[in-house]
Each structure stands twice: as structure tokens, then as C-alpha cells.
A and B are shown apart, each in its own frame.
Chain A
């Protein structure tokens, strides 16, 4: 203890005096956001550092200029394929060991640790419900899962069982079964709504600190086999109940396209759909937007004045404007709605930009463009592209650059059987998360800096 170095450090707390890169290395190895939180709130000095975006960016590698890569924490997927028949259900009831919870595959350098791990290592799951879960979508840190019925009366499609959890905060919800009185029906789309979304009245954009990552509502649509009608259901976390369904779309005329998971924008959930009737006559002019206002559950269908084509995908641009990306094999046509903040009644013009899909990082057997791929909105004007046999890329629709995130998803797409398995990208901006959660507490010390940042990161 007599060494000069230890002596010199004693004036401050030892760990704070370590070189910045060593400190960051230590924190990025903790592998749990909650544990980092518990460290951040030990004293003012650490609270200040954990609300300093520059410091936080050092924690998540791949921040780069835009930080798209840093937002991708990893993927959730279910390794087991659940066959929904009575015999299998009986078998599963007796063989508890043969199932496993969804797996989390971290992106390289993910703050959630370097190794694959089970969803249940994040979230308490004493009754094993999540062992029978298939991830469907994720938004703002919240993962939506379809649960597989474990008792005989709930077989087939007559019941929909759903669960949600936030692996970062440990929040967990198992929703009451959605009964359909014997009529088979299919889940066609969904929207995970946070408390911050429900607070918005369309214009207001004040960040409510924790609401950004707290589950508040689930919207979903199902299609009935017999009458082709699409029904909208909404579940409220506050009342723990489903609202009575409303008919929202005629499945004979319209069909949902693009992502099943909604783009939630200024308190409204949006999906794309196409007009099946006019699309035959006018091949470019058939794109519609199905919108549900979160607070009122008001449904509206708006024709989009854009030339559609390719595979369309709804996105939100960096400056928080709604856009439609029509993805073709070699290029993307992006339509961005100008002005008109969420105002559906005053049609705002849509601006077209075209980008060629850049040749990303050179890759052996480079034949990306003709490979089957999946595309997802990745917020802030970017799109996540999963090429089945080469890797995961993020395409920045504004900067027109493509960034490679990770190599071939061996464990996700390894064999033919698993090709139709959904893997859910788990995206969360941890810089934003820390600043929003803790920023309010250090307001006196760092003044307006946190607040301003909080506003600037709110989409």
C-alpha cells in the first residue's frame, strides 16, 4: 500500500482513476445492464459519467458515426420447433426437459455479454412459461412472444397465447388467452406500445423518462379463416385485459405487406397494405397505410401517393419522418413524407430518393444480391438486412452506406428445417436508455446537457 501509485489514487476512488479505456473494458465485460445501473448510482461522479453520451458510446462498440451497429444488441430465436398437436402437447407435458427458452445470440461486442444465453437468464420465469415461447417481434427493448399452449383444450389456433418481457429491466407479462370461440384465425400483425407512446397526443414529444421502455399496450390483428376479415385487438397492461375487437380491414380487398411488426410513430401504429383489386389494374398504385391511433384505437386507412414496387417496407427516418422503402434486388426507392406531422387529414407530399444497395464489405462467395433475405426497419433511417447465407448488414438509407454487423447466422439459419424460423432483432439504444433513466437525476450537476440530449434522441 505504500506505492506511490496507490497513494496518489487514494484522493479519488480507485476505480475512477483507472485509464478510460480500461474502465470501459471492465464495464463492457459486466454483461448486464442492471448491474451497470447499480454501479452508476453509487455516487455523483459515476452518475455523471453514466449519463455522459460520450462515455456511454465507449461502452457499446460500433457506435461509429451513426451508431446503428451499437443499437443491435443481438437476436432472439427459438431453437425448438413446437408442433401444435395434442400428441405433442401431451408429450411436452411429461417431458419437461426437452424444451428450452428462446436463445439470445449477442451481436459482436454486445453489452449483454459475449455468449449465447437463454431468455430466462434475463427474466425470472419460475413457472417455465417462456420455455414454450416463440419470439415474434421486439421494440424499445420489449420482446413479444407467442406462447405455445401447454394444455389440451388450448390446441390449434382457437387460442392465442402471448407473452412479453423486457430482458433489460426484467419486466414480464403473460397475457390472458385470446379466445376465438372455435373459429380458427391467424395472427397477422402486431404493435408493441410503450408508456411513452400512449402518453403522446400526436404532437407532444417530451421524453417521459422511464416510459420509453415500459410496456403499456399490445395491438394486434388477426384474420379469420371464414370471412377474411381482419380484426384489431388491443391489450392494456394497466387493466390486464383485452378490449373487444373491431373489424379493421377487409381481407378480400386488402392484404398486409412488409413487416408484421408495426412502425409506431408519434403515437400511431402503422402497417403497410396493398389493394389487391387495383394492384392488378394499376401495378404501381396500390399501396395503403393502415393506422391505429394508440390512445383512441381509432383505425384509418390511407392511400399512399407513392409509386410502389419491389418489396415495400415502412421506416422512420432520422429526423422522425415516416417513409416507405421499396426494396429491389439492387436498389431501394425511398419515399419520405414531408412536413405534416402525423396529420393524415392534410396530405403531405412524399419525396422520392433512390439509392443503390452498396457493395458492402467484400465477402467470400459474394453473391448477396441474389440471396434470399429479410428486411426490417431499424429506425433512424436505416434498415436491417439479413442475408440467409452470408451475414447481417445495416443499410443506412440516408447516408447510403451499408455496414456489416456480423457473419453468417449459422445458428439461426443452419438447416432447411429452421429456414422459416423467425429470428427477432433485439435493438435498443443503451446510450439513450441510460440518459433517459438517469439523466433527470443529475440535472442540477450537468445542467441542461442531459435534457437536451434526451430530446434529441427521441424519435
Chain B
């Protein structure tokens, strides 16, 4: 993947990035600017034909991030209501990923300083925690239960309030 021509000074320039596992990607400069890290590198003329190496971002999440930034850069200013709605739908679909990808996105967006994506991924993770029982959380996040049955019982007993899924209707005395 080394096909881009170098038109320095053009605002439509494509920025090349390289994932930790050596895959090359490119995106418009406006998209790259959504990442704080990339923007600063572009400003300091560190973006060259060889591509910006991103040592902690693997190809799979990087492909998603390039997707995200490209979409958001194209619709950055002066959004109509429909466009904003569409972007929202895009985000909602975009973040429907398995937890492994979600963790990768969290780390990568944090590292690259893509604020919108960071927020999106954090909120998605938080939403996965909401309203779950411990068992459901273990399933979702692949956590191994290492409590003994006695300990589990003690946890339930000590924290009855948290485990009452259906609260008593009312305590009219």
C-alpha cells in the first residue's frame, strides 16, 4: 500500500498512518486532524510519505478509527438536523462491537486523542455495565468468578439493598 502522491500544501492531502502490526492506512487531513496526536504531527511537518507510525494501535482498531474520523471530518461544521441525526445513527452503529474491539478502541482513541470517539466508547462501556447483575457483568466482560459460594452468599447478605431486583412496592406501615 504505497500509492499516494505527495502534493504538499494541498488541504485535501491524504495522511498516512501505520499500525503497530505494519499495515498502512490513509485518510484526508481533515480526518486526521480530529486526532490530537496526528494534528500536532501534521503541524510540525512530521507527516511524510512513509506514514506516521502508531506503535500501540493495531490494524483492526485503526481501520475503525480511520472510518470514524473520515465520516466525522466530512460532516464537521454546519450540520443540518438530518445530518446530525445521521451522524448519530452512524455512531450508534459504529460502536456496536464486541468487547475486545471496544477495549482496543478505548485505548487507541485515548492514545490518539480522538475526543469524540473516546466519549463514544466510554459511554458504550458504561452502558454495558448499567442495570446488570454480577453474573451478567461476568458474562459481558469475560470476568471469572473466583469467589467461593460462601463468600458469594455473604456478599448478597451484606448488601441486600443492591440485590433486590424488584423493590418492595412500598412500605406503608
Q: Residue on A with the closest CB to B156?
A: A41
CB atoms of B158 and A210 under 8 A apart: yes
User: A44-B146, A44-B147 are known contacts. Are A172 and B170 too (CB-CB below 8 A)?
Assistant: yes
Q: Residue on A with the closest CB to B170?
A: A127
Instruction: Mark out the residues of chain B between 108 and 134 whose CB falls within 8 Å of any chain A CB in the assembled complex.
Output: 110, 118, 122-123, 125-126, 129-134
In the complex, chain B residues whose CB is within 8 Å of the CB of A14: 99-100, 103, 141-142
Give which listed residue, B60, B145, B159, contacts A42 with CB less than 8 A: B145
Instruction: Mark out the residues of chain A between 157 and 183 whose CB falls within 8 Å of any chain B CB in the assembled complex.
Output: 169-176
Q: Residue on A with the closest CB to B58?
A: A3
Query: Is residue B76 contacting chain A, with contact meaning CB distance below 8 A?
Result: no
Cα distance A270–B172 in the bound complex, in angstroms = 29
Please report the total number of B residues contacting A with Cβ < 8 Å.
49
CB atoms of B142 and A13 under 8 A apart: yes
Query: Is residue A204 contacting chain B, with contact meaning CB distance below 8 A?
Result: no
User: A5-B107, A41-B155 are known contacts. Are A35 and B131 too (CB-CB below 8 A)?
Assistant: yes
In the complex, chain A residues whose CB is within 8 Å of the CB of B77: none
Contact flags (1/0) for B137-148 with A, using CB distance below 8 Å?
110011111110
Choose, from B31-39, B41-49, B81-89, B160-168, the stretch at the interface. Answer: B160-168
Give which listed residue, A21, A169, A174, contacts B170 with CB less than 8 A: A174
Please report the total number of A residues contacting B with Cβ < 8 Å.
55
Q: Which of B56, B61, B100 has the most CB of A within 10 A?
A: B100
User: A43-B147, A437-B158 are known contacts. Are A30 and B167 too (CB-CB below 8 A)?
Assistant: no
Query: Is residue B151 contacting chain A, with contact meaning CB distance below 8 A?
Result: yes
Please, could you name 29 A-B residue pairs with CB atoms under 8 Å apart, sorted by A? A3-B61, A9-B103, A13-B142, A15-B125, A17-B103, A18-B103, A18-B106, A25-B122, A26-B129, A30-B129, A31-B130, A35-B131, A35-B132, A36-B129, A37-B159, A38-B137, A42-B141, A43-B138, A43-B145, A43-B146, A124-B168, A124-B170, A127-B170, A169-B162, A174-B172, A241-B173, A437-B159, A441-B151, A441-B158
Q: Which 9 A-B pairs have the closest CB atoms?
A: A240-B173, A3-B58, A29-B126, A169-B161, A124-B167, A37-B162, A26-B125, A42-B143, A13-B143
